Every structure is written in structure tokens, then in C-alpha cells.
Amino acid sequence: QVQLVESGGGWVQPGGSLRLSCAASGGTFSTHGMAWFRQAPGKEREFVGAVRRSAGTTHYSDSVKGRFTVSRDKDKNTMYLQMNYLKPEDTAVYYCAAGSGNPISSRLKYASTYEFWGQGTQVTVSS
């Protein structure tokens, strides 16, 4: 059983930066691909970015490409989401997820690809 714990959320002004962390236990990056999703009030959960198991290649949604970066530290078994140039529309609860499969790239954006989820951390971007 994989357990995921997010941290690092908070309030930031537009144009600012935040770094989220997702500490994983019960699994490793060689066995699980991982991803970040977000959900704003009244909206569906949205794919943000993912890092594939083993090779560690990354994929991003168009809405965050060039602003957000997904990375991982194998020694700490932790995934990160560096968020730069934040916008008010980035306000949401951010979740990390882990999946034991090795899906094709087109499947990475679907929540159903991932079996394990964290509890979420709130990110608020406003002036």
C-alpha cells in the first residue's frame, strides 16, 4: 500500500512561486509512476503533470507547461512540483497520485490511471 503526503501549499501573490512536496512510502519510483492533479471549487479534477516510473520522463498539461516543473528525489522518495509565475486560475487543491502501471503517455492525464492519492494541499493565488 502506497501512502502519499503532500505539503508546501499556501497563499502567494500572482507572479509568485511555490514548491509542493509529495512524500511517498510503501513504494518507489521504480515501481510507481507519479503525478500531480488539482481541483478548483466547482470544477473537475485536472491533470497538472506526471513523472514516469524508472525513466523519469515528465509530461505536463498545456495550462502549466513552461511554468511548472515536476521532479523527484529518489533518495528521499519524494516528488516535487515547482510552480512559477503563478496565476489566480492556478488556485486549487493540489493532489499527488501514484500508479503501479506503465501506461502510454496519452493515459497519464486520467485520474483513473492512478490507484493511490494524497489528501491534498491548498494553493491560493491572489493579490
Residue 29 has pLDDT above 80, yes or no: no
Euclidean distance between CA atoms 4 and 117, whole angstroms: 6
Q: What is the pLDDT of residue 26?
A: 85
| pLDDT of 91 above 80 | yes
CB distance 77 to 23 below 8 Å: yes
pLDDT at 104 over 90: no
Q: What is the DSSP string of the chain?
A: --EEEEE--EEE-TT--EEEEEEEES--TTT-EEEEEEE-TTS--EEEEEE-TTT--EEE-TTTTTTEEEEEETTTTEEEEEE-S--GGG-EEEEEEEESS---GGGTT-GGG-SEE---EEEEE--
Tens-place pLDDT, residues 35-84: 999 999 999 999 999 999 877 899 999 999 999 999 999 899 999 999 99
> Is the pLDDT confidence value at 27 over 80?
no
pLDDT of 95 = 98
How large is the average pLDDT for residues 17-24?
A: 97
Give the pLDDT confidence score for residue 20 in this predicted structure.
98
Cβ distance 119 to 5 under 8 Å? yes
Using the predicted structure, report yes or no on whether residue 103 has a pLDDT greater than 90.
no
